[in-house]
Amino acid sequence: MLESVSAETTADDVSRVTCRSAGPSDLASSMRILNLAPHCTIPPKDGADRRAWHLHEGLAPLGIDECFVARNVVAEGDKLTPMPGAESSWRDRKMLAALAAFASGKSYWQLKMLTPSFLREVARLRPEDFHATIIHFLYSLPLLQSWRGRKMRLLVETHNYDPAIYAGLRDGSRNPLLRYLCDQASLKSLQALVALPKGTTLVHVSESDAAAYREISPDLRHVVIENGCRVAPRATSPDYSAPGPKQLLFVGSLSAQMNQDALVHFSRTYWPSLRGGAKMRVVGSMPPSGVASLCIAEGWELCPNVSDAELEGFYASAHFAVAPFAYGAGSKLKLMEACGRGVPMLSTQAGVTGMTKLPPCVLLTDDPKEWKRLVQEWTPTPQVVRETLDFAEQVSWPALSARLAKLIADAEVVTIP
């Protein structure tokens, strides 16, 4: 079944739902949750990291106690405990991880993310000690193998529609090893999906993802919690009528292949018509040499591994944020974050994949000539900015955490096969 969850859920709602659905051994006034996020590095570096972490942060004010197991730390309450053995390893080197995945027959992402230190931490935990367990990404579902036969409330955060995301990565590469690993990862994700017990709750970032997964596994519970944002309107903005080139801004994890492909697509498709009338600033963590070389070749400013304060300054000076994606899956958190600051966003159709409603600050076109016209001529009005910020309030992280809390409270108990 495809369900929607009210955005007006409050802490009192969560308490009432918990009391109604909990058995004698459950916590009545609050819930204790196990959240397994092997992809997530703290502090968060990319969109998937931020989604997992910010939804986690929003649960505590609702009276929910959570053990959040990330890639490098365990968070319980206000305490962050470094995970022993979580330092860099050969798994962080893409080619070594790819060769190991090929040799072992494992999914590349499973091998890379389910590290020995993470597995040791999970092995000491018992699902019976928690009201519910959240697992991020289908490639993490092998974690359930050690809990076969046990009863638990299980929620799976899918983050993307895996067949689409892996197909996009495969089709964007001529590397036969990468193409093979993408096909294997897609196959293993679908195998893990169909093995989930009936009644498992799948949390998707878009209605289109939910519909696609529902076609494959209609006996699971499919719900949507969109990607969110921090609502922090920029205090100042540039003069759109002033002469001179307009400032464009791309923000994203630069180690992610999809973001690298987006920058290459922007360079080939849109930058030729924008050059001379715009400046480009690329902001993100862990830029590889290919991204650095592209920025040098195109005359773009590369700003790696910036602080939160620096990022806010970049948003304040940007005329437009850009999402120049050639393919897409899930939904783009960078679009939501621009909306939360009232910054206009230029996007391709692929950049808004999964979004059914767009605020007026999101300008959507695949036509390079239209990109040039918008950069030269479009100016956000106060009403457009206000409507965009109103949209952002509806998908703020606290609002989405409240919706997640209700899902957790209502989750069905399943038996792990």
Considering only CA atoms, which of 48, 75, 120, 43 is closest in space to residue 333? Answer: 48
**Backbone phi, psi, residue 265, to 5°:** -60, -40
Whether residue 75 is found in the same domain as residue 218:
yes
Residues 109 and 189 in one domain: yes
On whether both 12 and 154 belong to a single domain, the answer is yes
Q: What CA–CA distance (Å, rounded) separates 13 from 413?
A: 20
Please check whether residue 235 lies inside any domain of the structure: no
Query: Are residues 287 and 376 located together in one domain of the fold?
Result: yes
Q: How far apart are CA 157 and CA 202, in angstroms?
A: 6
Query: H or E element: which one contains 66?
Result: strand 65-69
How many domains, the chain?
2
380 and 280 inside one domain: yes
Q: Note down the domain range covering 356.
A: 246-394
- Take residue 129 and report the two structure tokens written for it: 């000690």
279 with 368, same domain: the answer is yes
- What phi and psi values does residue 406 have, to the nearest 5 degrees? -65, -40
Alpha-carbon gap, residue 272 to 274, rounded angstroms: 6
The helix or strand, by DSSP H or E, that contains position 252, with its residue range, turns out to be none
Q: Beta strands of 158-245 (E only): which ranges?
A: 201-204, 221-224
**CATH classification at residue 117:** 3.40.50.2000
Pairing mode, strands 201-204 and 345-347: unpaired
pLDDT of the residue at 389 = 96
Distance between CA atoms of 70 and 52, rounded to whole angstroms? 9
383 and 406, same domain (yes or no): no
Model confidence, pTM: 0.83
Q: What pLDDT is attached to residue 417?
A: 95
Per-residue pLDDT at 200:
98
Q: Which amino acid is at 274?
A: L
Instruction: Say if CB 224 and CB 202 are below 8 A apart.
Output: no
Residues 294 and 366 grouped into a single domain = yes
Inter-residue contact 344 to 378 (CB < 8 Å) = yes
Hunting for tokens 């799976």 — which residue is that? 156
From first to last of its 417 residues, the chain has per-residue pLDDT tens of: 333 333 344 434 333 333 333 332 343 346 899 999 999 999 998 889 999 999 999 999 999 999 999 999 999 988 999 998 777 778 888 889 999 999 998 899 999 999 999 999 999 999 999 999 999 999 999 999 999 999 999 999 999 999 988 998 888 788 999 999 999 999 999 999 999 999 999 999 989 899 999 999 999 999 999 999 999 999 999 999 999 999 999 999 898 888 999 999 999 999 999 999 999 999 998 899 999 999 999 999 999 999 989 999 999 999 999 999 988 764 578 889 999 999 999 999 998 887 878 899 999 999 999 999 999 999 999 999 999 999 999 999 999 999 999 999 999 999 999
Residue pair 53/71 in contact (Cβ under 8 Å)? The answer is: no
Q: Is residue 236 part of a domain?
A: no
The SS3 of residue 389 is: helix
103 shares its domain with 198: yes
Asked, for residue 361, whether it belongs to a domain, the answer is yes
Q: Work out the widest C-alpha separation in the chain, in whole angstroms.
A: 69
Q: What is the pLDDT of residue 329?
A: 61
Provide φ and ψ at 29, rounded to 5°. Answer: -90, -20
120 & 212 share domain: yes
**Gap between the Cα atoms of 326 and 189, Å rounded:** 23
- Kindly state whether residue 270 falls inside one of the protein's structural domains: yes
Are residues 376 and 315 part of one domain? yes
Supply the pLDDT for residue 165: 86
First to last CA, the chain: 21
Q: Give the whole-angstrom CA distance, residue 215 versus residue 347.
A: 29
What values do phi and psi take at 292, rounded to 5? -60, -40
* C-alpha distances out from residue 265 to 21, 176, 258, 340, Å: 49, 21, 10, 26
